[in-house]
């Protein structure tokens, strides 16, 4: 099913993200995680694309596993280090695995990277054009409530986001954020700018003390004082921290929904029990 159809009815949706392993030997384990997560009945499940496309085959395999488990898959795809021919063959592979939905991304620029030639991509919008020309896919893109780290300011970031959406995006998914005010302001700015596709809010449950440092480094997200207090108090006890992280994420989602945000994407970090606990905490709300 196309995600544009899933998002179109103004109903509450909660979807999950999984990431592929780095080695083939661990693929079966990740497949098992996928089928465990499918039991929580997410609206759809996304599978990330390894930096530099080194694990492209794993993404399509897992997308196929998501589909087999009865859930709509969304395959991420990055373009920075690929030629147009390589992207064309990955799109064929996705289609062969029953993938109808792609999150079209540029990918982070590796240190010292030099853009090779015209056959390579520079920005996500070029990938979006390529996928659209190929036809048949519902296309999503990334957005950044706290602006993308390479952008000078919000004006520039939103201008590029608008151009990207106008290339033919069906929906956007946000970078993780921990402060709902930031997201709600961003959503308003998008509306003012005429960005009118559904925006899916990305929520990362922080369930252990090490994860927060890495998550902030990777995402550039600001963390509210309230969350640091939770870390200080419970960070040393893994069970307490996990419980607190699940409750914080659940409360964050409830507050978003109370403010009119219906579409939530959970960065599950491949933890089915965390995803399931959040879904259980929202059971009546999801089925409203």
Of 106 and 242, which has the nearer Cβ to ligand FAD?
106
What amino acid positions are annotated as catalytic residues?
Answer: 17
DSSP 173: E
Q: What is d(CA 127, CA 119) in angstroms, rounded to the nearest whole number?
A: 12
Task: Give the Cα separation of 236 and 270 in Å (integer).
Answer: 22
Residues 6+ apart with CB under 8 A from 255: 180
Residue closest to 12 by CA, chosen among 206, 175, 204, 254: 254
Residue linked to tokens 């759809």: 44
Least distance in angstroms from the C-beta of 128 to ligand FAD:
9
Closest approach of ligand FAD to the CB of residue 236, in Å: 31
Surface-to-core class of residue 1, CB atoms within 10 Å of its CB (0-12 exposed, 13-18 middle, 19+ buried): middle
**Nearest CB to ligand FAD, comparing residues 53 and 230:** 53
Is 125 in contact with 167 (CB distance < 8 Å)?
A: yes
**Would you tell me which residues interact with ligand FAD (CB under 6 A)?**
48-49, 51, 76, 78, 103, 105-108, 123-125, 142, 148, 150-151, 157, 160, 164, 173, 175, 202
Residue placing its CB nearer to ligand FAD in the complex, 76 or 187: 76
Q: Which is nearer to ligand FAD, 51 or 96 (CB)?
A: 51
The distance of closest approach from Cβ of residue 143 to ligand FAD in the complex, given in angstroms and rounded to an integer, is 7
Provide, rounded to whole angstroms, the least separation between the CB of residue 237 and ligand FAD. 31
d(CA 239, CA 237): 6
As given in the structure block, the two tokens for residue 140 are: 């999503």
């Amino acid at each position: 099913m196309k995600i544009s159809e899933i998002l179109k009815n103004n109903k509450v949706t909660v979807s999950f993200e999984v990431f592929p392993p780095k080695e083939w030997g661990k693929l079966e384990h990740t497949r098992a995680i996928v089928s465990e997560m499918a039991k929580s009945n997410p609206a759809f499940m996304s599978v990330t694309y390894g930096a530099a496309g080194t694990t492209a085959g794993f993404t399509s395999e897992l997308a196929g596993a998501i589909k087999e488990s009865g859930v709509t898959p969304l395959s991420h795809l990055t373009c920075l280090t690929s030629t147009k021919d390589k992207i064309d063959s990955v799109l064929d592979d996705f289609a062969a695995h029953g993938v109808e939905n792609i999150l079209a991304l540029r990918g982070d620029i590796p240190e010292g990277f030099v853009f090779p030639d015209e056959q390579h991509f520079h920005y996500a919008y070029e990938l979006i054009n390529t996928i659209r020309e190929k036809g048949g896919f519902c296309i999503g893109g990334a957005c950044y409530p706290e602006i993308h780290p390479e952008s000078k300011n919000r004006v520039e970031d939103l201008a590029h986001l608008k151009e990207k959406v106008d290339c033919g995006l069906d929906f956007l998914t946000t970078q993780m954020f921990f402060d709902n005010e930031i997201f709600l302001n961003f959503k308003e700015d998008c509306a003012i700018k005429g960005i009118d596709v559904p925006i899916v809010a990305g929520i990362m449950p922080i369930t252990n003390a090490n994860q927060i440092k890495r998550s902030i480094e990777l995402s550039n997200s600001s963390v509210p004082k309230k969350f640091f207090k939770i870390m200080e108090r419970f960070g040393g006890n893994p069970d307490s921290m996990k419980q607190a992280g699940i409750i914080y994420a659940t409360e964050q989602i409830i507050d978003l929904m109370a403010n009119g945000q219906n579409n939530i994407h959970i960065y599950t970090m491949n933890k089915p029990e965390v995803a399931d606990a959040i879904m259980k905490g929202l059971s009546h709300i999801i089925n409203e």
